[in-house]
Chain A
Amino acid sequence: MKTKNKFKKISGNWYFLIITILIYLFILIFKQDLFFSSLNFFNEIILKIIPIFILVFILMVLTNYFITPKFIMKHFKEKGIKKWFFVILGGILSTGPIYLWYPLLENLKNKGLSYGLITCFLYNRAIKIPLLPIAIFYFGWKYILILSFVMIFMSVIQGMIINKLMNKDKKE
């Protein structure tokens, strides 16, 4: 029984890693050259991204320190264009898994936040400041900067379309 509970506690992420390692062991038996070339490539990637992950950790600590749902909620009370601005900023700065933010979004929806603004918030969550170092490492700062701006612009367009489609005529 105890062993069964212990297995339940192991997250799916660990199962994923274990399965991947088993695949590698299988390849080691049947195709050694592929095993070693893949492992070499893996080492190259790991060595490249370790320093970036240290930076990611520091940025995550900083955002967790400064940005809380309370902080976001306070600024969502702004009006007009300012509200869009804070929704974009809130989406970008919000951290953690999305389900942590659903209660807040439900609360805000009940308080009159339009579907368009919710769309804008959710879309901008895709832009993660703490993960920017690793994104810049792979794609370059110019590409990431342009992509982020295009995504922010598109998030507003999407918000407007959703507002129309959801037939929301509440004053923003």
Chain B
Amino acid sequence: MPKKEIKKIIFNTGKSLWKLFPLILGTILLVSLVIKLIPKSFYFTIFEGHYLISSFAGSLIGSISVGTPVTSYIIGGELLEKGTNLIAVTAFLVAWVTIGIIQLPAEIKILGKKFTFLRNIIAFISSIIIALIIGLIFNLI
């Protein structure tokens, strides 16, 4: 590949990261604020309790959240550091990166309504199942 092409790839990669820059910075700012503002006990009330409920809650919040995977890692990672349970965080992470609320219209247009809904519903259920498998592997259940 010519040098010009490599330069173009580096430039385009830099450009796509730069586009994400305000989003990442804003997310970290918000996460910092929310973590300092909301008491630790709040996360426990949402994400704790029976593992089925916490995985469902994590999956629900993850699937309605919109953003890049990096954002979910930052939020999930900080939540985990604050003591939130791994099952809920896993469901949250998996749902965030596999369920696409924002791209639903485009997906419906290209791949069809039936397929899009089935795929997203199955992805939602899968995020709960994956969280439970992780819980079993890490001896949390």
Contacts and interface: CB of A to CB of B under 8 A. Distances in A.
A124 B71 CA distance: 18
A141 interface: no
A149 to B, nearest CB: 10
Interface residues of A, number: 59
Contacts, number: 150
B72 to A, nearest CB: 9
A158 B126 contact: yes
Interface of A: 11, 13-14, 16-17, 19-21, 23-24, 27, 34, 37-39, 41-42, 45-46, 49, 53, 56-57, 60-61, 64-65, 96, 98-99, 102, 105-106, 109, 115, 118-119, 122-123, 126, 128, 131, 134-135, 137-139, 143, 146-147, 150-151, 154, 157-158, 161-162, 165-166
Interface of B: 1, 6, 9-10, 12-14, 16-17, 19-23, 25-26, 28-33, 35-37, 69-70, 73-74, 76-78, 80, 86, 90, 93-94, 97-98, 100, 103, 106-107, 110-111, 114-115, 118-119, 122-123, 126, 129-130, 133-134, 137-138
